[in-house]
């Protein structure tokens, strides 16, 4: 198996004149991109970095992000990409935890990087335009002014990337992934999404997120074009799709929702897109149907996975069976086991019967799996058991053998002794014509322990009684019906579009109108 360094060089050799990267003001062929990768590789070597070292990047999606990523791969250096919004104390944690020896940043992240106490002793590289370059940092544009051919020093067993996953409590967990695992995941992604050579996508999913990294690597395998999109703006995104004739999209559901509701959206403007893929969160039925009508894609993929093991399951016809995550991916083995109980952890030997809800687990012998969290043995002990990764996701297998993800173990609502998953309720409420977005949580209740509460961002005037009648007319069991509806101006989300239920539980939302109780 090739390492990622050779994978990149292979792409350059195969089609040097093909279009590799596009930004607002630059268009780089694979040959031109390689010259910048080689220049940065030489620069990092002169800065004293060697194979096995780590480089922290605090960047938006821009051409420099891709160049740094590939320069690290050909060098056998680990890239540690983090959210460009990270605060100074968070950057300090990333630097300390990852043991990074170098940091790359830009104007938008400069103040927080400068405020990190550990940054002072490290070499640094400044990307993009700025009022001035920090005394201790060099300018990317000057470094790549004289290009160089990249020289492969990497090996499949080198660490490729370390992604950080954020939890509801505690510090983020580092997920180190080897080059062979990254390449295997990218190959599977190409096959499972049926990408052709020279596909074009708008890369809006952050390159500090597993979906963004996977898109970047997958496109190199097929000599595709990555159109870098730094910050989410639905109207500009539609403009970019139309201008660059994007052929596929791979987004979280929230971004699809924003695009469909954006001013100026029309099916004609996105007609070049023939394949849709989503991951990161379940997609509610109403949004699935709207996307199918707007795009009429030849392939509509629900990809279920994580940073730890990129692919769990894939459903290549998401509309045919809404909510289904499909079957195990090319490199995966999956099971559903009973939930852990106080004093007793579930085993991979105890599989749930079809239709019974439990925790989803995945075989860590997968070619695309990680090998454990970075310096977090206590988390490994909980999540890695006898060769299986306990995902923390809840779900079940139907009679056809397809997997359904119903939520997170931590999000499970226990009301009156019943386990209730928010996703099922959200899907039903999303089908109401007056509901734009919805998130369901369990709030404390003296009698029930927790009560089901629906936080709704309406698209037009609607009452709690209207929504309750909608739930009663559905197949939703009575005990799962929301006991309260809260109408909010926005549903809180993470930078990559995931609903932040913990913010809703904590009361961090803007009420749109008087809270109403359903009967």
| Matching residue, tokens 């003296």 | 446
pLDDT on residue 337: 95
Residue 448 is part of which domain span? 412-517
Helices 253-260 and 234-244 pack at an angle, to 10 degrees, of 90
User: In angstroms, rounded to a whole number, what is the distance separating the alpha carbons of residues 348 and 345?
Assistant: 10
- What residue spans of 222-311 are helical by DSSP H? 234-244, 253-260, 285-295
CATH number at residue 433: 3.30.300.30
In angstroms, what CA-CA distances link 100 with 82, 94, 154, 263, 283? 12, 8, 18, 43, 37
Flag whether 272 is in a domain: no
Would 147 be classed as within a structural domain? Answer: yes
47 in a domain, yes or no?
yes
Quickly tell me which residue has 């930078």 as its tokens: 495
Query: What was the pLDDT predicted at 516?
Result: 43
**Alpha-carbon distances of 74 from 101, 105, 159, 176, rounded to whole Å:** 18, 21, 11, 17
Domain count of the fold of the chain: 2
pLDDT tens digits along 287-328: 999 999 999 999 999 999 999 999 999 999 999 998 899 999
**403 inside domain:** no
Domain assignment present for residue 336? The answer is no
Report yes or no on 392 lying in a domain. Answer: no
Write out residues in the chain with pLDDT < 50, as ranges: 135, 168, 514-519
pLDDT the model gives residue 133: 53
Domain termination residue (choose one: 220, 247, 263) = 220
C-beta of residue 253 within 8 angstroms of C-beta of residue 278: yes
Q: Residue 1's pLDDT is what?
A: 64
The answer as to whether 91 is a domain residue is yes
Query: What pLDDT is attached to residue 117?
Result: 84
Phi first, then psi: give them for residue 31, nearest 5 degrees.
Answer: -65, -45
Is 319 in contact with 288 (CB distance < 8 Å)? yes
Query: Residue 119: what pLDDT?
Result: 79
Residue among 7, 105, 108, 11 at smallest CA distance from 58 = 105
Which of 161, 194, 220 is the C-terminal boundary of a domain?
Answer: 220
User: What CATH number has the domain bearing residue 118?
Assistant: 3.40.50.980
**Domain final residue pick, 190, 220, 250:** 220
- State the burial class of residue 418 (Cβ atoms within 10 Å of its Cβ: 0-12, 13-18, 19+): middle
Q: Which residues contact 227 (CB under 8 A, 6 or more apart)?
A: 21, 22, 23, 200, 201, 202, 203, 240, 244, 246
Does residue 381 lie in a domain region? no
């Amino acid at each position: 198996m090739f390492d990622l360094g050779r994978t990149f060089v292979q792409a350059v050799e195969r089609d040097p004149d093909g279009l590799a990267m596009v930004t607002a003001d630059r268009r780089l062929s694979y040959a031109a991109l390689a010259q910048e990768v080689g220049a940065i590789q030489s620069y990092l070597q002169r800065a004293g970095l060697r194979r096995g070292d780590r480089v922290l990047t605090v960047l938006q999606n821009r051409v420099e992000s891709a160049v740094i990523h590939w320069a690290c791969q050909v060098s056998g250096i680990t890239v540690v990409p983090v959210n460009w919004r990270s605060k100074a104390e968070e950057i300090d944690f990333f630097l300390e935890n990852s043991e990074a020896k170098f940091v790359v940043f830009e104007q938008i992240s400069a103040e927080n990087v400068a405020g990190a106490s550990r940054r002072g002793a490290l070499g640094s590289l400044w990307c993009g335009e700025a009022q001035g370059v920090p005394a201790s940092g060099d300018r990317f544009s000057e470094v790549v002014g004289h290009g160089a051919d990249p020289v492969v020093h990497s090996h499949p067993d080198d660490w490729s990337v370390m992604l950080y996953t954020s939890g509801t409590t505690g510090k983020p967990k580092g997920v180190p992934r080897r080059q062979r695992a990254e390449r295997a995941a990218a190959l599977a992604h190409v096959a499972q999404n049926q990408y052709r050579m020279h596909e074009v996508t708008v890369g809006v999913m952050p390159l500090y997120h597993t979906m963004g990294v996977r898109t970047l690597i997958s496109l190199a395998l097929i000599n595709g074009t990555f159109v870098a999109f730094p910050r989410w703006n639905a109207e500009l995104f539609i403009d970019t799709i139309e201008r660059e004739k994007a052929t596929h999209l791979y987004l979280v559901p929230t971004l699809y929702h924003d695009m469909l509701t954006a001013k100026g959206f029309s099916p004609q403007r996105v007609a070049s897109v023939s394949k849709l893929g989503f991951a990161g969160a379940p997609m509610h039925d109403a949004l699935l149907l709207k996307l199918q009508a707007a795009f009429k894609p030849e392939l509509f993929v629900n990809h279920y996975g994580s940073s730890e093991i990129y692919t769990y399951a894939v459903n290549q016809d998401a509309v045919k069976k809404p909510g289904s995550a499909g079957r195990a991916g090319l490199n995966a083995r999956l099971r559903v086991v009973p939930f852990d109980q106080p004093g007793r952890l579930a085993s991979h030997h105890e599989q749930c019967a079809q239709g019974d809800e439990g925790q989803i687990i995945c075989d860590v012998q997968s070619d695309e799996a990680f090998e454990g969290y970075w310096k977090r043995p206590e988390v490994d002990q909980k999540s890695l058991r006898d060769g299986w990764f306990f995902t923390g996701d809840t779900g079940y297998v139907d009679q056809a053998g397809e997997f359904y993800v119903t939520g997170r173990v931590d999000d499970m609502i226990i009301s009156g002794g019943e386990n209730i998953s928010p996703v099922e309720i959200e899907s039903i409420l999303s089908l109401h014509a007056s509901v734009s977005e919805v998130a369901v949580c369990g709030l404390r209740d003296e009698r029930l322990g927790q009560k089901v509460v629906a936080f709704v961002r309406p698209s037009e005037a609607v009452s709690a009684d209207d929504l309750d009648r909608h739930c009663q007319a559905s197949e939703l069991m009575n005990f799962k019906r929301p006991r309260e509806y809260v109408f909010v101006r926005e549903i809180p989300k993470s930078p990559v579009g995931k609903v932040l239920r913990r913010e809703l539980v904590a009361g961090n939302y803007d009420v749109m109108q008087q809270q109403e109780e359903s009967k």
